[in-house]
A and B are shown apart, each in its own frame.
Chain A
Amino acid sequence: MTNSELNRLKDKAFQWFGIFCTLIGLVVLGIFLINILIDGLGRIDWEFLNNLPSRRAHRAGIYTAWIGTLWILTLSSLIAFPLGIAAGVYLEEYGKKNRLSNFLEVNISNLAGVPSIIYGLLGLEIFGRVFGLGGSLLTGALTLALLILPIIIVTTREAIKAVPRSIRDASFALGASKWQTIWYQVLPASFGGVLTGVILALSRAVGEAAPLIVIGALAYVPFAPKSPLDEFTVLPIQIFNWISRPQAAFATNAAAAIIILLIITFTLNGIAVYLRYRWQKRVKW
């Protein structure tokens, strides 16, 4: 065999190896999803969604957990979205190339790399103890809001950056002030991108368990929370709690709750992908 034939053979072999590697992750994912569906699908019914937690596996439900997840998502969105979008607008539109804005930029990239459990320690001390909020919904929401803030800021900046200079110039030429230009032109034009980032941030928040465990969210909450100062649990913590128990019946419960959690995560991600696609398609500058 000549050298060039050998090289062509190696080239072909690597191509097959590439296909194999690309598919292996997806195959593993597929096996896993099928496994979960077989384990958990039969357990999901109306009572599973509406029952309170219980020591007996077959009577336990995820009512308090999904109500808690809903609360946490709503509250942390209310806190993180305005802050993150405002910070993104500032950095992109107002921040001059000075030392402060350079520092802000490095700082935000750094915050994005801080492990989520460290945010839990921050929330435990600052919101839980210094602010005296304990292990309440508000502590959890504030903690997760800080966790997703960098994601929102970064995606907001990218969306705003994509709005062409000419739109701003036209607005200024008509006599609009800087804020009027941002509010009436730049933000509406970048809305799709900002929304995509916001939804991705939400899908990140919905799956977080570690920081909430650290701030003291409980695995066993007998009643659904009614105000932001109540104790709470969320779906990932409920799943973690069920996984840690030895009985097989709780593993089935965990699989069923995972199906619910994955439905939420995939729906959010699907919306984000769809929005990005539509937004990219429709807007042609």
Chain B
Amino acid sequence: MRVQERIIEGLLWLSAVITILVTIGIIWVLLSESLTFFSEVSVIDFLTDKQWTPLFADKHFGILPLVAGTLLTTAIAIAVALPIGLTIAIYLNTYAPDGFRSAIKPMLEILASIPTVVYGFFALTVVTPFLQSFIPSLAGFNSLSAGMVMGIMIIPMISSLSEDAISAVPKSLREGAYGMGATRLQTAFGVLVPAASSGILVSIILAISRAVGETMIVAIAAGQQPRLTANPLVPVETITTYIVQVSLGDVPHGSLEYRTIFAAGITLFIFTFALNNLSFWIRKKYQEKYD
């Protein structure tokens, strides 16, 4: 009996420890391939060269254009999702009747559950033609519509995490504000949002991390032309799109071109890893403690 219990506990322990192996596996794969890559391409070139043309005859390995494309689409997504998501959070928390709130929350979650390839189709075939009727210079592939659609996808992420943070603000603070004669709007922006600011910040950081790693929307709608630009009307290429582009092609294994996807991958991993850990840190350090 005792032995059996020990064996079961051992097996359960092993399942939990496999998650550590996954992390080690990811880091090992990214590091080992990119170290070989960086023995052929200098890190300085990688970080400072303004061109990314590993698949052309005249090869340049500057990651900046891919990073710029990633940051541009992410910035557009956040510019859409943050005001809308935060307003939804405040509205649902302080204005909406209970019935409406409990009906609308699962419906918003639908936005996050739709496969991203579907959003990509939407961006390419609906949003881009629609925007082109206002902005004739908009290219068929552009970061504007990809970013906007990505923003719609991450609205529920910001709204639900921010709403959790706002609901965690103790009732006494809210009633104190109402007692002083503040309106709901004044209470929301004068008391609730400042009190929940760390939680709201965490939701924004997680949303950024999600947008940075998003692949299919940008691969379909933002184009495949690495370009160091802040112009949202022209095609760009994100880090994730580049990895997809190479994976679809016939790049021989073990070649320098093959290793570029791991160099791009480790760049992406560093970004998301830093953002995720920043969010844990903020949550731990700045979480307001009310008694």
Contacts and interface: CB of A to CB of B under 8 A. Distances in A.
**Are these two chains actual partners, yes or no?**
yes
A240 B11 CA distance: 40
A90 interface: yes
B87 A126 contact: no
Contact of A113 (B1, B106, B206, B243): B206
Contacts of B185: 7, 10-11, 14
A210 B115 contact: no
Given A7-B183, A22-B88, A110-B276, A240 B19 contact: no
Contact of A86 (B15, B181, B243, B269): B15
A269 B110 contact: yes
A231 B273 CA distance: 32
A25 B111 contact: yes
Interface stretch (A26-34, A49-57, A186-194): A26-34
Interface in B1-32: 1, 4-5, 8-9, 11-13, 15-20, 22-23, 25-26, 29-30
A45 B90 CA distance: 45
Given A110-B276, A179-B8, A118 B117 contact: no
A275 interface: no
Interface stretch (A165-173, A222-230, A250-258): A250-258
Given A117-B240, A153-B19, A177-B5, A21 B121 contact: no
A243 B120 contact: yes
A198 interface: no
B108 A26 contact: yes
A274 B218 CA distance: 33
Looking at chain B's contact residues, the main secondary structure is helix
A174 interface: no
Contacts of A273: 106
Interface centre among A15, A17, A22, A258, by most chain B C-beta atoms within 10 angstroms, is A22
A188 to B, nearest CB: 17
A61 interface: no
B209 interface: yes
A118 B269 contact: yes
Contacts of B108: 22, 25-26
Interface residues of A, number: 85
B174 interface: no
Looking at chain A's contact residues, the main secondary structure is helix
A67 interface: no
B215 A115 contact: yes
B29 A125 contact: yes
Contacts of B118: 36, 207, 239, 258, 261-262
A184 interface: no
A207 B183 contact: no
Interface in B60-119: 83-84, 87-88, 90-92, 95-96, 104, 106-111, 113-118
B247 A213 contact: yes
B116 A209 contact: yes
B138 interface: no
B23 A107 contact: yes
B150 interface: no
A74 interface: no
B248 interface: yes
A119 B104 CA distance: 33
B216 interface: yes
A149 B117 contact: no
Interface string B183-209: 111101000000000000000001001
Interface string A201-214: 00100111110011
Nearest to A20: B87
Interface string B227-255: 00000000000001001100110000100
A279 to B, nearest CB: 15
Nearest to B116: A207
B216 to A, nearest CB: 5
A87 B15 CA distance: 5
A21 B91 contact: yes
Contact of B262 (A21, A121, A129): A121
B135 interface: no
A273 B109 CA distance: 11
A150 B216 CA distance: 21
A265 interface: yes
Rank and list the top 8 A-B pairs by shortest CB-CB distance, nearest first: A115-B213, A207-B115, A18-B91, A86-B15, A90-B12, A210-B215, A113-B276, A11-B183
23 contacts: A10-B183, A14-B90, A18-B87, A26-B108, A29-B111, A90-B13, A90-B15, A94-B12, A104-B19, A106-B280, A110-B273, A113-B209, A114-B213, A114-B272, A115-B215, A117-B243, A177-B1, A178-B5, A179-B9, A214-B244, A216-B247, A236-B216, A243-B120
